[in-house]
Structure 1
């Protein structure tokens, strides 16, 4: 028998998916927005889409879309590169640096795609493990060299922690030859916007997305920000025509409609209020012998239960309540934990009542 086409490491790697169940009514597992794009905007997008020639490839680089995205991000049009989702941009970067022999460092626990992609492509990497409070600690940072690329996620999924600006600036200044790539797809929900720092530091790239702050996860559009001469080189790694007609029509409509943008900014503020409310309720209702909820600057909260029994009982109860959350227990340091997306006010009430009812019923913390 001939050798298998794919390596044993790839065959052992689980598929990267978080599809959830279509039978569950309350989906709080993917950090999507709960409310869909309005019918008015959808109709306008469809009209725009109908006017395009579907038999032709989309524009390789849409100048209008580039300008609109750049204006939204507060950078120049030649300082961004578009991609079919932030993960595709990350994949390009990981592959390029790995092929060229760079040391790759990323935080743990953090975005599961890093670990998955590196295992699937047999890419060696080093972990920057968060401290006991799940914060970035420079004392724990592996040694950086002139051929190191350091990925930092801030706000960090699934934890919700961020890197302080003074620490980020310290790293950028001390290691000017090290490439630092900041995954900031949850930036709109945090306190800091680090994108303008690209004008100060050539070794900084900032990754952004439309999947979290807008009701546009189906849009599949991400963008990378950096100094113009760095971005011009990165664009050589991108497949042409990767932003399809639908994505271009959708994004152009969203970004050129002031009312839509104003509404979404209000929705972001509402999400942040609901996040704080849920955090405070969990903090005040439960003690450390039951669960721990972590502060977050994303559109989600991480909850870690004190025992396997509590974790099992809560996940069973959530299933009974038709609520889907993300099980994050396979992450380093996150045993018996879940990540819940911040949804609508009613969804947050339902989630909280479900957690509260589980402990009210009594849990078996021995199993």
Structure 2
């Protein structure tokens, strides 16, 4: 007899991935594909990171350092003397945090529309997921979100938000933290390197705040799956008990991450490029483009549907993301990453043909 699957896996699509391509799908100029669907860094990783990763391959017959000591020390050099944990992407950290706090029937609050994995991971832990819709301009309804968080175990807030690009200011986050009692707030700062606000000082004032970060974006290590988070010191021993052994990170990923943190020139180059092209793309596209503080833009393509636009552009060698799968969004928004110069130019040309 076939064992039964948990009910939450029988409803909904699960995490929806951005479109990829194969050699057989290649179209467009010179067969080049503009890959603008996954918010990736268009530049290869730092050469120092590549060299460190290659060197670490010689030792992969041994397990990694279970405490990730070198990477934690590198994070402290980069950010200051905070308490850090690392994981297999920020997703791995989210799962470990939920294992620390959530039991079946507990409430988890999510500010939507946003990254769908928060709700998927919470449901997997047996939580009751409560989505709090953002305002019409996609900013957070602070009073409504704060009320919902009261009595919940964990709440998720993304800023800059994926896929809208909108910011929740540190002052607004502080207002939330002051009003939610002992609910743990997970603040997803995956894209904060492209924004002007700094949320790190909040860690000094609150014991119920986790700030998640990633090395997939400005550091260009998406394929190595390195996430990290600032956590309150009291949580660290409990987190380590709940976390995947060896933090879910390979010794190769850890070594490359240490080197990438030290290569400030690579980070600054990426930042300059994204800020310049973010404004150029926003100004050039003839559809309404939302303000963004991230390395992507969300565009309202009505009267077209998002899926129609994604399919049309893919046929011309430009991959972008339909936002239809994001909870709380309609079917007429697309998300486009800031890519290399030629990719951005191709995107502008193709979307303006619609």
What secondary structure does 2:206 align onto? Answer: coil
Once the two structures are overlaid, the 10-residue window that deviates more, 173-182 or 268-277, is: 173-182
Q: Quick one: structure 1 residues 57 and 75, their matched pair in 2 at CA, closer, same or farther if it must change by over 3 Å?
A: same
Q: Which runs of structure 2 are paired with 1:43-122 in the superposition (5 Å)? A: 43-50=51-58, 52=59, 54-76=60-82, 79-99=83-103, 101-120=105-124, 122=126
What secondary structure does 1:20 align onto? Answer: coil
What secondary structure does 1:252 align onto? Answer: helix
Q: CA RMSD in A?
A: 2.2
- Counterpart check, 1:264 vs 2:290: no
- Counterpart check, 1:276 vs 2:279: yes
Q: In structure 1, what is the equivalent of residue 237 of structure 2?
A: 232
CA offset digits 1:223-254 (Å, max 9, x no partner): 11022122332222112222212112211222
Residue of 326, 340, 343 corresponding to 2:339:
343
Q: In structure 1, what is the equivalent of residue 261 of structure 2?
A: 255
**Structure 2 Cα separation of the partners of residues 243 and 310 of structure 1:** 39
Give the CA deviation at 1:343: 0.5
Give the CA deviation at 1:38: 5.0
Residue of 212, 221, 227 corresponding to 2:217:
212
Give the CA deviation at 1:202: 1.1
Q: In structure 2, what is the equivalent of residue 327 of structure 1?
A: 322
Q: In structure 2, what is the equivalent of residue 31 of structure 1?
A: 39
**Structure 1 Cα separation of the partners of residues 52 and 149 of structure 2:** 49
CA offset digits 1:171-194 (Å, max 9, x no partner): 212334221110111110111110
Q: Quick one: structure 1 residues 334 and 74, their matched pair in 2 at CA, closer, same or farther if it must change by over 3 Å?
A: farther
Q: In structure 2, what is the equivalent of residue 292 of structure 1?
A: 288
Q: In structure 2, what is the equivalent of residue 354 of structure 1?
A: 350
Q: In structure 1, what is the equivalent of residue 135 of structure 2?
A: 131
Relative to the length of structure 2, the TM-score reads 0.89
CA offset digits 1:40-65 (Å, max 9, x no partner): 64234312432x2x332111012221
Give the CA deviation at 1:292: 2.3
Q: How many matched pairs? A: 342
**Structure 1 Cα separation of the partners of residues 308 and 154 of structure 2:** 41
**Structure 2 Cα separation of the partners of residues 226 and 38 of structure 1:** 27
**Which stretches of structure 1, 4 residues or more, deviate above 6 A after TM superposition?**
none
**Is contact 2:104–2:125 with CA below 8 Å preserved after alignment?**
no
**Structure 2 Cα separation of the partners of residues 318 and 61 of structure 1:** 45
What secondary structure does 1:99 align onto? Answer: coil
**Is contact 2:49–2:255 with CA below 8 Å preserved after alignment?**
no
**Structure 1 Cα separation of the partners of residues 112 and 144 of structure 2:** 11
Give the CA deviation at 1:120: 4.9
**Structure 2 Cα separation of the partners of residues 314 and 14 of structure 1:** 21
Give the CA deviation at 1:335: 2.0
What secondary structure does 1:343 align onto? Answer: coil
**Structure 2 Cα separation of the partners of residues 243 and 329 of structure 1:** 32
**Is contact 1:304–1:335 with CA below 8 Å preserved after alignment?**
no
Relative to the length of structure 1, the TM-score reads 0.86
Q: Quick one: structure 1 residues 120 and 176, their matched pair in 2 at CA, closer, same or farther if it must change by over 3 Å?
A: closer
Determine which structure has greater relative contact order: mean sequence separation of CA pairs < 8 Å that are 6+ residues apart, divided by chain length: 2
Q: Quick one: structure 1 residues 44 and 173, their matched pair in 2 at CA, closer, same or farther if it must change by over 3 Å?
A: closer
**Is contact 1:10–1:121 with CA below 8 Å preserved after alignment?**
no
**Structure 2 Cα separation of the partners of residues 41 and 5 of structure 1:** 45
Q: Quick one: structure 1 residues 40 and 199, their matched pair in 2 at CA, closer, same or farther if it must change by over 3 Å?
A: closer
What secondary structure does 1:272 align onto? Answer: helix
Q: In structure 2, what is the equivalent of residue 361 of structure 1?
A: none
What secondary structure does 2:38 align onto? Answer: coil
Once the two structures are overlaid, the 10-residue window that deviates more, 113-122 or 135-144, is: 113-122
Q: In structure 1, what is the equivalent of residue 29 of structure 2?
A: none
Q: Quick one: structure 1 residues 251 and 229, their matched pair in 2 at CA, closer, same or farther if it must change by over 3 Å?
A: same
**Structure 2 Cα separation of the partners of residues 64 and 43 of structure 1:** 16
